[in-house]
Amino acid sequence: MAENQLRVPADQDLLVFGATGDLARRKLLPALYELSLQGLLPRKGEILGTATKEQGDHGFREFARQAVQEFARSGFREREFAEFAKRLRYVTTTHDQSGTGEKLSKALQLPHRLVYLAVPPSAFTTILEELRRANLARGSSLIIEKPFGHDLKSAIALNQALHRVLPEERIYRIDHYLGKETVQNLLVFRFGNTLIERIWNRDVVDRVQLTVAEDIGIETRGRLYEETGALRDIVQNHMLQLLALTCMSPPSSFDPEALRDEKVKVLHSIRPVDPSEVVRGQYTRGSVHGELMPGYREMEGVSQDSTTETYVAMRVSVDSWEWAGVPFYLRCGKALCTRRTEIVLYCRDVPVHLFRGTDIGHLTANRVTIRIQPDEGISFSVLAKEPGPTVIEQPVRLDFSYGQSFKTQPAEAYERLLHDAFLGDHTLFIRQDETEAAWTALEPVLEHMPRVNFYPAGSEGPEAANSLLLSGSWHDLSHHIETGPRLSDV
């Protein structure tokens, strides 16, 4: 992967379905612009946008200009944008895609292309069929966005539909979490450090908590979210991928398939989740960072008696030699008190307390915290003696922070992923068997969804989530993580 970073991809076009949508505006166009600034787009190749909106190349370029002005991480530069905009072209398509294939075929210049389906999954099959009919599948590779199905059955059907048109080697399933620097660093942290790999198993680790907390609500996505919910939106993909990267054994090489083989082994080792070990929640009206947030059921597109979950917590077992017996606690939610994605490994306690029988209490066991976002970094919580005449143990933090160590802003996940797909590198994309294994683990819950508990927006989620823990408590969301020695960490 590393050597990819400066490689210029072979000549090819990029064809984007859903080119006037939210994903294109917020993520794809800004990421493509950043790649253009770095000289990492193919030397020759157009970006052909298509959607039902009636407009020409000029209209699309204006749309892209606004997208870049609003969302490009390194800011808008007129001359550089003009250079990038030369690649942008647009073709209007019909709702039922009739005749689309011919139109696109005429507009595309090169024999090879990357096709990006930035459209709702309900549109996939028609588009795939149109690509096949117009003989455009030949020479194409395909990027698709989650959700990869709605459950195991629909995921299998989707994979079959994809494979009727393209082989697996030309399909890129995006989970943008894999494009995050901090997520990729999990591999380097684990497999590049003897110190770490030695402690990374059931002998030392007592339990693990994974959290994806968001402080935003569902915003304008009410209608879509009603059919999704947190389990399908976050757990099935982002969280199970984080779990797989946390638990996987070292791959035999850095070959994409070797890595994905190891991830899929973990996903297969997850014991199908017992619905009684799952807590679902939905946010009600509350206040987030001092601002009033309406409840989920008050949002446009949401039914007034909706039971869709905006929060889910669960206990998961990984039946592998390395992890058997270690509970993994997963939780994610919208409208919580903070935005934070983290993995916390709690170590077992020392076998004998040195100061047993004295007044000096033993405070806490070691802990490794991987901060995926924000405040990206990794810290160890260890005990130290507080200076002074008596022995007082204090938890202190050994810390690595990306900002401080590298003094650079990480690239956006979509930049990395688009560049890799242009290069034909599958490492950071999800393979067919991974999606199916992840759905299999969640099947019992999807079949018997536990009832929904309510929690006020701005809180840490429903109280009922505490009942899942066999020991300890959930890592506190309301404080900034471990800002130094703190007795409250005890």
Of residues 335 and 441, the one with the C-beta less far from ligand BG6: 335
Q: What is the dihedral of CA 440, 445, 447, 450, to 10 degrees?
A: 180
How many amino acids of this chain bind ligand BG6 (CB under 6 A)?
A: 3
Of residues 182 and 269, the one with the C-beta less far from ligand BG6: 182
Of residues 217 and 256, the one with the C-beta less far from ligand BG6: 217
Tokens of 306: 């909706």
Contact 284, 457 (CB under 8 A): yes
Please report, as residue ranges, which positions from 220 to 239 form the binding site for ligand BG6 (by CB under 6 A): 233
Contact 166, 430 (CB under 8 A): no
Q: Is the dihedral of CA 80, 61, 111, 140 positive or negative?
A: positive
* 238 tagged catalytic: yes
CB of 339 to ligand BG6, least distance (A): 8
Between 184 and 213, how does the x/- string for binding to ligand BG6 read (CB under 6 A)?
Answer: ------------------------------
What is the rounded distance in angstroms from the CA atom of residue 23 to the CA atom of residue 263?
27
Residue 214 within binding range of ligand BG6, rule CB under 6 A: yes
Residue 181 within binding range of ligand BG6, rule CB under 6 A: no
CB of 402 to ligand BG6, least distance (A): 16
**Catalytic member of 58, 112, 176, 238:** 238
One-letter-per-residue 3-state SS of 128-153: HHHHHHCCCCCCEEEEEECCCCCCHH
What is the rounded distance in angstroms from the CA atom of residue 64 to the CA atom of residue 51?
14
CB of 70 to ligand BG6, least distance (A): 16
Under DSSP, the state recorded for 379 is E
CB of 235 to ligand BG6, least distance (A): 11
CB of 233 to ligand BG6, least distance (A): 5
What three-state secondary structure class fits 58? helix
Of residues 93 and 209, the one with the C-beta less far from ligand BG6: 209
Between 309 and 348, how does the x/- string for binding to ligand BG6 read (CB under 6 A)?
Answer: --------------------------------x-------
Residue 434 within binding range of ligand BG6, rule CB under 6 A: no
Tokens of 388: 């002074």
Where would I find the H helices in 86-236?
100-107, 124-133, 152-165, 181-191, 194-199, 222-226, 229-230
Residues forming the site for ligand BG6 (CB under 6 A): 214, 233, 341
Catalytically annotated residues? 238
